[in-house]
Amino acid sequence: MIESEAALVERMRRGDENAFEVLYARHQPAVYRYAFRMTGSRDQADDAVQETFLSLLSNRSYDPGSGPLRAYLYGTARHLLFRMWGAAGRVDELDGDYPMEAPDPLEGLEAEEQKERVRQALAGLPPHYREAVVLCELEELSYAEVAEVLGCAVGTVRSRLSRARAMLMERLSGERCRA
Amino acid sequence: MNGQGRLSEALKALAEETSDGGASPKVRAALLREVRRRRIRRAAPWWLAAAAALTIGVWLGVSTKQQRPAAPEMVSAPPVMEALPVRQDPRPALEDAPAVQAPSAVVVKRAAPARDAVSARLAATPWMVHQALPPVERGQVLRLPVSAELARQFGVPQQSGEWQAEIFVGDDGLARAFRLVRVPAYK
């Protein structure tokens, strides 16, 4: 019988090393990837993982009834990162249309160069838009899962991702023009 | 492939590139230490109580051996009648009076208690401090119920109510001081 994550968390809080090892092996990679993709820094990603699991150990705010543990951990890591950046909890949703069929800024570039340019453009996005790309495109979470992590509606996730992609294209185009 | 398609491809490549790896081993080690610390913290009351009980048990054993009041000493005394002065009764003794059998009396001499008896009005005995142990700056006071018999051995009078032992246990788990406290004092 597979033990529930809530039971594992409870055991871990009581000092059960095996429960900790199971939870850590199961969720640490995702939390680390998310933090690393958001910050681009391995040290900051390490800090985020440590703080996230410490929070799970000591904080009673995890409620198994309110959603899966993975969403709680993403949410905690996200909160820590935003606090670290001093970013406001609210996001100003950008209005207006973005040209979706602008000249292709990646055309003619080698795959490696495309990747590098996208990495740089992603790092330059405002955090709320960057995380939409990271969670939906890189972490491959469903819109519903991302909505749970971000604490917003699924529609908001869709529109934020759409705008984030458009902003990426715009930045890539700008970069291409400067080059 | 259009621009959005290339962007998706580039994002996929970026995801693959960053899909490996994880937090450094020191993160896991730090978290494991915290988990162990929590286990020890949770277990502390058990071992602390066990250590305190053990120390107190040894201590009480030594104390009672050293300070236990001597058992009542049974001494045979000469017949009381012989000890009485000869009665100088001016009246003549009745010749036909039955002879009085002198009773064989027993005098009970109770040895003085090693400690002064605690007044029934007092709420607590004085602290008994273990001088041989190194001093500590912090600790906890534990309260344990004690039997009437044990309380009596420490000079607490019978019929003085229910008593508890207060044990000051240092952070190192060793009991440093001990006293008895009357329960009604807390009610």
A 82-101 near B (Cβ less than 8 A): 100-101
Identify the CA nearest to A52 among candidates A68, A30, A21. Answer: A30
Q: Give the position of tokens 């904080």.
A: A59
**What is the maximal distance between C-alpha atoms in chain A?**
59
Shortest CA distance from B29: residue in chain A: A50
Identify the CA nearest to A51 among candidates B168, B122, B31. Answer: B31
C-alpha–C-alpha distance, residues A116 and A110, integer Å: 10
Q: Is the pLDDT of residue A26 over 60?
A: yes
Question: Is the Cβ–Cβ distance between A48 and A27 less than 8 Å?
Answer: no
Task: Check A118 against B18: CB less than 8 A apart.
Answer: no
- List residues bridging with B145 in a β-sheet: B164
Task: Check A20 against B39: CB less than 8 A apart.
Answer: no
> Over pLDDT 70: what percentage of chain A?
84
Residue ranges for chain B with pLDDT beneath 70:
1, 41-52, 59-122, 184-187
Q: Give the position of tokens 């699924």.
A: A154
Identify the CA nearest to B18 among candidates A45, A147, A142, A150. Answer: A45
CA dihedral A48, A49, A51, A52 (to 10 degrees): 110
CA–CA distances in Å: residue A142 to residues A137, A155, B134: 9, 12, 62
Q: Where are the alpha helices (DSSP H) in chain B?
A: 3-17, 25-67, 80-83, 148-153
Specify the pLDDT at position B3.
72
Q: Tell me which of A19 and B163 has the higher pLDDT.
A: A19
Distance, CA of B119 to chain centre: 20
- List residues bridging with B124 in a β-sheet: B181
Helix (H, G, I), strand (E, B) or coil at A146: helix
Specify the pLDDT at position B83.
40
What value of ipTM does the predicted structure carry?
A: 0.79
pTM for this entry? 0.56
Size of interface A-B (CB pairs under 8 A): 111
Taking contacts as CB-CB distances below 8 angstroms, the residues of chain B near A33 are: 18-19, 21
Distance, CA of A174 to chain centre: 25
Specify the pLDDT at position B86.
44
Question: Is the Cβ–Cβ distance between B182 and B122 less than 8 Å?
Answer: yes
Q: Is the pLDDT of residue A71 over 80?
A: yes
Taking contacts as CB-CB distances below 8 angstroms, the residues of chain B near A56 are: none
Q: Give the position of tokens 């529609």.
A: A155
Taking contacts as CB-CB distances below 8 angstroms, the residues of chain A near B6 are: 104, 106-107, 114
